[in-house]
Amino acid sequence: MKKNILIRYGELTLKGGNRNVFIQKLIQNIKFKLKRYKDQVQYIRDNNSLTLEVDAEIVDHVVAELQTVFGIYSISVVEKTKKDIDAITKAVIEIAKKSNKKRFKLEATRKDKSFAMTSTEMKQTIAPKVLREIGDLIVDVHNPDLKIEIVVKKDHVDIFDSRISALKGLPVGVSGKGLSLLSGGIDSPVASFLTMKRGMHVDFLHFMTPPHTNEKALHKVFELAKKTSRYNSNQFKLYVCNFTMLLEELNHIPDESYKITIMRRMFMRIANELARKNKIKGIITGESLGQVASQTIDSINVINATSIYPILRPVLTYDKEEIIEISKFINTYETSILPFDDACSLFVPKNPVTKPKMWVAEAQENAIMWNEILDYTIENFIEEFVFKDGEFTKVEKIIKTEE
């Protein structure tokens, strides 16, 4: 037995000449999500929607997967009937019988204006028959707990009793590729998720500082990246940079209050080099304005100066409670709060500068040998892992010396 799942595009219908590109990418992403069911799913495309014809036993599984795909506005499991008022009435009655709800409302939309009855006439004809068939059902147009919708299309009629809200946004991949600085805390996975919502494929970069950070901290980062994979592209990368050598050099800057500022400037330089070599279009961070010393507007300006790529800060205006709420929704919160520290949290100075000056930051860098160590770190201390089919695989070498 077959069932039909109606997928509404939402924002994608506004994309004008590029609309087809966006929809094709959405369908590609859906097919990847449903690859385990590929022999049980048929795709039927309409102007403003997509219908999946699926085996009845997998309907709930398919709907659950679709709820993790950006670019889908809402989902309905529909009964598809021929354009005949008796067939429509029968389908409406069957849906109402299966429900144990009592307050009933009927909606009708006639997208095919050639259909003999108007929307009002359909409701006036069908609703009394439903009420006669199901004696304990009452009409409640203001607060119904059962709303059945009829949509008359060109070749058939869709009938359904629910609209399941989806993630909305844009299909991942239509906005290019970004590199997220994944720290292991609460904010950066949320920032990554929100960037995916705007259609960007996200790769990750993590800075570790052994022996100060341990294997459990690194495992935590892999787990966070894996948890966000349900929303990301079908394949992405996680870069792990051993930052210890640079960190030891940063201990020699004259003004310790600038330590986090200079550290983050180094992070951005490394991220920019990875972006340049991997066709990445933007850097993503979990910075929230004013949350900590390195996230004041003055600090952000000094850090921005090291990047030739745009730095995206999706949670910049969010407070902590809002960020935590999203982290719980995407199931990263419990992992993020595990007590394994990252490089930034371990090496915050006692009195970090909140209003750094550019010339002072540059003077701190001029006092140490960061250029050579940064180049050496990029060449020798970055590992690449590719996530595919639910697992990370290490790539032996990622960055080659320029000829």
**List of domains in the chain:** 2-165 (3.30.2130.30), 177-395 (3.40.50.620)
Give the pLDDT band (50/70/90) at residue 265.
very high
pLDDT, tens digit, for every residue of 340-391?
766 655 567 778 899 999 999 999 999 999 999 999 999 999 999 999 988 9
> Mean pLDDT over residues 45-63, rounded?
91
**pTM for the whole thing?**
0.91
Own/partner long-range contacts of 53-60 (Cβ < 8 Å, ≥24 apart) = 53/2, 53/3, 53/4, 54/2, 54/3, 54/4, 54/5, 55/1, 55/2, 55/3, 56/1, 56/2, 56/3, 59/3, 59/5
Q: Which residue has the tokens 């003055």?
A: 298
- Residues 6 or more apart whose CB falls under 8 angstroms from that of 324 comprise 186, 333
Collect all residues with Cβ–Cβ distance below 8 Å to 369 and sequence separation of at least 6.
249
**Which residue in the block uniquely carries the two structure tokens 């940079």?**
241
Range 136-156 average pLDDT: 93
295-314: pLDDT as tens digits? 899 999 999 999 999 999 99
Predicted pLDDT of residue 377? 96
Q: Which of 150, 151, 152, 148 is nearest to 162 (CA)?
A: 148
Q: What is the pLDDT of residue 13?
A: 66
Q: In whole numbers, what is the pLDDT of the chain averaged over residues?
A: 92
Q: What is the pLDDT of residue 403?
A: 42
Tokens 């409406």 sit at which residue?
92
Q: What is the mean pLDDT of residues 201-228?
A: 92
Average pLDDT value for residue range 158-172: 95
Give the pLDDT band (50/70/90) at residue 178.
very high
Pair type for strands 2-8 and 74-81: antiparallel
Which residue(s) pair with 107 in the sheet? 149
Q: Specify the higher pLDDT residue, 143 or 135.
A: 143
Q: What does the pLDDT read at residue 350? A: 77
Tens digit of each residue's pLDDT (9 = 90 or more) over 8-25: 987 776 666 788 889 999
As a whole number, mean pLDDT of residues 268-283 equals 97
Q: What pLDDT, on a 0 to 100 scale, did the predictor assign at position 46? A: 78
The pLDDT, as a whole number, for residue 291 is 81
